[in-house]
Amino acid sequence: MESLVNPNVLQISPYVPGKPVEDIQREFNLKKIVKLASNENLLPIPANVAHAIRDELQQIHCYPDSDNYYLRQRLATLNNLPLDQVIVGAGSVELIHMLVRTFLKPGEHVLTSEKTFSLYKVATTEFAGEAAYREIPMDENLCFDLESILKRVDRQTKIIFITNPNNPTGTLVHSNAIRQFIQKVPHDKIIVLDNAYQEYVDNQEDYVSGLDEIQAGKNIIVLRTFSKIYGLAGLRIGYAMAKPEIISMLNRVKAPFNVTRVGQRAALASLENEDYKKRSANLNRINKAKLLAQMENLGLRVIPSQTNFLLFFPEIAPAELNVRLLKEGVIIRPAAGFGIPEGMRVTVGLEEDNEFFIEKLKKVLS
């Protein structure tokens, strides 16, 4: 079979998602399972969003609006941009693949940090081969090291991914560092700010969303998602904002009807519910602080996080800890797939989920 396949595809290490609850239930014959593996928002979606979803079901024999017009219009208004500066994708992952296909020319490469979201590498490798992907070590605080990344920018660098806050470390790059970096990167590069966890950042006043830089005409693409704080991971909706020339190029590679009718309606409805977002962020802050303290009490090294997850370093091998937890009905995520073989990532759940995780963690570590 391999001789039939595009050689770039052979170089891809497939993305390993958190195990589905159903698989673990079947495998270990368990009654209760708690999944804290994919950074989803576990607070049930608000009633207005559930209502919009049910209502839209009556129309699903028809294709969706390929242009995502109403959703784009709302997003443009909320972000203070014209309509032609927004594009919607089937999750931000679709947009990552689209932007690599659109901008990376033969011989050029993608630059980012090590220990970050693995889909940048998958998208690059699929399109241009593994050699087109370059990662730079993090600093000692497990943060993107923008100075080192800047030093490695050369004529062949085309796209630079900055994940802020980063997955899986949960660390944030400070606003001054981001601003200076954007100022210093040559104009013929594309900087992608992946802001998937933006809403969880404690100090929003000091956060560089990238919108001012887009307004100033920089080659910046901001990625946002409805999969995290909006609680719509199962519907696959993300969006990108950039200057009109960039969005118009991305539109050339966009598959028609890429976002479902239900997804578009649900996203629109969720934008009308600020309260759910605020409640989710507050709850996350409280639950995260408690979880962090409980884990540290168990003697674990845990990285303070500006997101809805925590990276930690168990004394025993993560693969072993993972199996022990799975047998107890807890699904979390070994961080090996993100380039951190000694780490594990746990999503901050609701109080009851976190308590279950801590109880089982205590049991399997003792």
Q: Note the residues at the interface with ligand PLP (CB under 6 A).
A: 39, 91-93, 117, 163, 167, 194, 196, 225, 227, 233, 238
For ligand PLP, the closer of residues 117 and 144 by Cβ is 117
For ligand PLP, the closer of residues 117 and 133 by Cβ is 117
Q: Are strands 344-347 and 309-313 parallel, antiparallel or unpaired?
A: antiparallel
91 dihedral zone (left: phi>0; alpha: psi -120 to 50; beta): left
For ligand PLP, the closer of residues 96 and 358 by Cβ is 96
For ligand PLP, the closer of residues 288 and 360 by Cβ is 288
Radius of gyration (C-alpha) of the chain in whole angstroms:
20
For ligand PLP, the closer of residues 294 and 334 by Cβ is 334
The neighbour count for residue 111, using CB atoms within 10 Å, is: 24
CB-based burial label for 153 (10 Å; 0-12, 13-18, 19+)? middle
Q: Which residue is nearest to ligand PLP (CB)?
A: 91
What minimum distance in Å lies between the beta carbon of 4 and ligand PLP? Answer: 29
What minimum distance in Å lies between the beta carbon of 143 and ligand PLP? Answer: 14
What minimum distance in Å lies between the beta carbon of 194 and ligand PLP? Answer: 5
Cross-strand pairs, 200: none
What minimum distance in Å lies between the beta carbon of 187 and ligand PLP? Answer: 25
Whole-number Å distance between alpha carbons of 295 and 346: 11
For ligand PLP, the closer of residues 17 and 186 by Cβ is 17
For ligand PLP, the closer of residues 56 and 94 by Cβ is 94
192 — phi, psi (to 5°)? -105, 120
What minimum distance in Å lies between the beta carbon of 306 and ligand PLP? Answer: 12
What minimum distance in Å lies between the beta carbon of 193 and ligand PLP? Answer: 10
In the block, residue with structure tokens 């009654």: 31
What minimum distance in Å lies between the beta carbon of 78 and ligand PLP? Answer: 17
Whole-number Å distance between alpha carbons of 61 and 208: 41
Find out whether 201 and 170 touch, Cβ atoms under 8 Å. Answer: no
Find out whether 235 and 225 touch, Cβ atoms under 8 Å. Answer: no
For ligand PLP, the closer of residues 104 and 192 by Cβ is 192
What minimum distance in Å lies between the beta carbon of 362 and ligand PLP? Answer: 28
Task: Spell 216-252 as b/e; 16+ CB within 10 A means b.
Answer: eebbbbbbbbbbbbbbbbebbbbbbbbbeebbeebee
Whole-number Å distance between alpha carbons of 198 and 235: 19
137 — phi, psi (to 5°)? -55, 150
Q: Are strands 238-241 and 220-225 parallel, antiparallel or unpaired?
A: antiparallel
